[in-house]
Structure 1
Amino acid sequence: MMTRRFHKMSSATIELSSRALAASVLAALGVTLSACNSDSGTKTPDAPPAECAGGVLEADLEAAPLSGPGVDPDTGKLRPPPEGSSYAVSATYGVPRRGDEAVMERYLQIFGAIQAQLASQPGLVAIQLGQSPSCGSGRTLAVWASPDAMYDFVMSPAHLAAIDAVNELLEPTYVVTHWEAAETDGITLADSVRRIQALGDPAR
């Protein structure tokens, strides 16, 4: 399930980008799976607790701060968009399907490609990844200079390659949403959780 706030694109392109944007959740899940494979002993739970859902902020959510060219290095805060404009913000939530080592290998392969693409993607203002050890879930928050910049990433090689893998690798409860923001105060993971909650049950 996702919100559709941008109307400049054709309906066919939006339908494709809806599936493609969902692939960005794999970036956060790559962090989760890396932790699962580390020496820390952290493991993705066999079944997430009932309170684990896109519209519920995980008590143990571990998130790095926003990072990117739009973040002031002195304050760590997101710089506001140019006067009279707004940012495009995308947020994702997902839980990896339980599987064998081949599934994990596929996750990490896609995660690496998306990570490499993001490192040089024009128009990316900032990004934040989060993961919950107890839920085995991952979240992303990405800030883009414009809707067009966001969709340029959606249609990038890494994302196009990941489109078909989303349903294979993620539980059907994954959620994708995006919105425009002229102010930076509400661009947080907590705000994205509230927005996802307002969407209702993604599994319906």
Structure 2
Amino acid sequence: MTTRTLNETIERSSRAFAAAALAALGVMLPGCGNDSSATPPDSPPAECTGGVLEADLQAEPLSGPGVDPATGELLPPPEGSSYTVSATFGVPRPGDAVREKYVQYFGAIQAQLASQPGLLAIQLGQSPSCGSGRTLAVWSSTEAMYEFVMSPAHLAAMDAVNELLEPNYVVTHWEAASADEVTLEEGVRRIQASEARAR
């Protein structure tokens, strides 16, 4: 069952945010061909959930206009303000048809994210053992995040999420006043807390 946060607004849009998990899966799906060693499991192991950090998670560094190019660190938010951070977790459904559809949707989302106003940084990660992908996105505001959610590329992917991802996809977002609260580990902790509230 899909974990959703208790906030009604998030609940209505969690399927939409889940489409952003497709971006993380782009790190992994191109390598999932007929080579059985590269193919994720047909069904993810029970411990492969949004609230458990994968031991073999491979993550790119944060990148984007909000990252200091000299240090690779996220720049602090303007004084007295905060970032909106979204985190996703998803596992693609098996099969060539899924991969073909995924490539179509991922290309459109990737192009949208490249020029999306308000997107300050993004981090993608994937786990070979779980066949899972994670995203961490940093937004200048909640409004900026929702502008992406309502973009044509994202709306199209949103409609296809249940075809492309296993039903254990998870999404959450939070406000972060410091860069210390913007990590994949913090995303896992927030997802774990939302899963606990949903029980």
Compute the TM-score of the two structures, normalised by the length of structure 2.
0.91
Distance 1:83 1:203, change over 3 A: closer
Task: Tell me the equivalent position of 2:18.
Answer: 22
Query: Is residue 49 from structure 1 mapped to residue 45 from structure 2 by the alignment?
Result: yes
Q: Could you tell me which residue of structure 2 aligns to residue 186 of structure 1?
A: 181
Number of the residue aligned with 2:140 = 145
Deviation, 1:50, is 2.1
After alignment, is 122-131 or 27-36 more displaced?
A: 27-36
Q: Distance in 2 between matches of 1:112 and 1:202?
A: 34
| Distance in 1, Cα, partners of 2:31 & 2:106 | 13
The alignment status of 1:127 with 2:122, answered yes or no, reads yes
Letter in 1 for 2:84: A
Contact in 2 for aligned 1:2/1:178 (Cα 8 Å): no
Whole-Å separation in 2 of the counterparts to 1:4 and 1:113: 30
In the alignment, does 2:149 pair up with 1:170? no
State how far apart, in whole Å, the 1-side matches of 2:17 and 2:150 are. Answer: 9
Q: Select 1:103's aligned residue among 98, 103, 107.
A: 98
- Correspondences of 1:62-77 after superposition (within 5 Å): 62-77=58-73
Question: Equivalent residues in 2 for 1:59-98 (5 A)?
Answer: 59-98=55-94
C-alpha displacement of 1:38: 8.9
Distance (Å, rounded) in 2 between the aligned partners of 1:89 and 1:97: 26
**Counterpart residue number, 2:195:** 200
**Are the counterparts in 2 of residues 175 and 202 from structure 1 also a CA contact under 8 Å?**
no
In structure 2, give the amino acid aligned to 1:28: A
Preserved CA contact (<8 Å) 2:4 2:198: no
Return closer, same or farther for 1:4/1:154 CA change in 2, 3 Å cut-off. Answer: farther
SS in 2 for 1:23: helix
Identity score, percent = 74
Judged with a 3 Å threshold, the aligned counterparts in structure 2 of structure 1 residues 114 and 38 are, in CA distance, closer, same or farther, namely farther
Unmatched runs of 5 consecutive residues or more in structure 1: none
Structure 2's unaligned 5+ residue stretches are none
Encode CA deviations 1:33-92: one digit per residue, 9 max, x unaligned: 112139795111123222211111101100000000000011110001111111000000
| Deviation for aligned residue 1:21 | 1.4
Instruction: Tell me the SS of whatever aligns to 1:141.
Output: strand
Aligned length in residues: 197
